[in-house]
Chains A and B, each alone.
Chain A
Amino acid sequence: MSFRKSIRGRRGRRRVSSHFELQLTSMMDVLVIIVVFLLKSYSTATNQFSAMAGVQLPYSFSQDSPPDSLHLILTPEAMTFENERILEFTRSAGDVGTSDASYSLRPSDTDEGGRRVIPLYDALIKARNKSELLRAKSTKRDAQGNPLPFEGVLAIQADKRVHYDTIRRVMYTAGAAGYKVFRFLAMKKE
């Protein structure tokens, strides 16, 4: 009895393997749809900017895609320049334990009447020197044969809760360090 069963089982298996064919056409259809969707939503922008976890970006109707540049991230708690946390704000003593706390710069972190942020200034100057050195070594030259001038563009990606007073200090500091153009980043509103 068991011998018969095993023979029948083997025959059955053989029959299935000889006729079975995977239908790839429907799978191809699905994949083509996915590829078309991905190609449609594929951004050809040449920048590395992306929404950072924990940062609530505001929405904008602007259509301008930002080219790659030096990148400053401002959250209500800290300042990050080129993926390096350079400064942390202090939480006001009166707001400890409340949900909507306010943060401020330490007086020791600023000078020029509180307008210039020292750690940010140092980081910006360092980045500028590095950029100028790279440009001096580069083969790209202007009409007079001099190295290309420093562009001085700073992309500011701030949380929507960050106050203008902080942004103003950042802009003043960047201006003092030779950065003449600011790009305010936001999420695209459709």
Chain B
Amino acid sequence: MLKRPTSKRKSKNQQIELNLVPILDTMVTLIGFLLFTTSFLAIVSIESPFPETNSAQVEKKIKERPLQLTLSLREKESELWSPFERIPSKVIPHATPELPTGVPQPDIKKIHDALIAIKQQFPEETQLILVPNPSANYDLLIGVMDTARAIEPTDPPLFRKNPKSGNSETIKTLFPEIIFGNLLETEGGA
């Protein structure tokens, strides 16, 4: 008499099929949600405070004579200077435009190099007063703010002494606090 095959042998031959349909439904729903809510164009921001001052602060500044690094963007040149003459004024002529009909623009690279040299001299300084020409466009403003804030990988390493530990630490930003210095002026057309 032959024995009946065991249930083990039976299951070995059976093919298990995974039901993918509910997983597929989830995937399609997830993709729909992600496509609907994802923003592929990332928006970033550069923060700048409104300049505020009072007589006490002015008196304090006159006593302390801070660097108050100022970058003036003029029609034909840019100038890095300190109202309290803590650094010699540096005039940077605008870069020659690529097209003969183009308008000369501030030399961003040279401005950045000059800012690096100042940062090496004043590693604790974080503020830059920006005084643009009224005709400067928003693109240029963002470019100048970028160059004044960020340290590029090709820049020489900058260090500052940590007052608590006494150790030198790497500086990661150049002049992150940018304040517009000529908001009260009325000259120039829109």
Contacts and interface: CB of A to CB of B under 8 A. Distances in A.
A168 B134 contact: yes
Given A89-B190, A171-B183, A43 B38 contact: yes
A163 B43 contact: no
B87 interface: no
B38 A41 contact: yes
The A contact surface, by secondary structure, is mixed
A81 interface: no
A171 B180 contact: yes
Interface string B154-190: 0000000000000000000000000010111110111
A124 interface: no
Given A60-B146, A183-B46, A184-B48, A35 B39 contact: no
A9 to B, nearest CB: 30
Query: Size class of A's contact patch?
Result: 35 or more
30 contacts: A27-B24, A32-B27, A35-B30, A38-B34, A42-B37, A43-B38, A58-B142, A60-B44, A61-B150, A62-B44, A62-B45, A62-B46, A65-B42, A102-B190, A103-B190, A113-B186, A157-B43, A158-B138, A161-B138, A164-B132, A164-B136, A167-B141, A171-B50, A174-B50, A183-B45, A184-B46, A184-B142, A184-B145, A185-B43, A186-B45
A149 interface: no
A182 interface: yes
Contact of B149 (A41, A62, A164, A181): A62
B138 A160 contact: yes
B23 interface: yes
Contact of B24 (A31, A65, A187): A31
A157 B20 CA distance: 46
A64 B21 CA distance: 41
A111 B138 CA distance: 24
B139 A58 contact: yes
A181 B138 contact: no
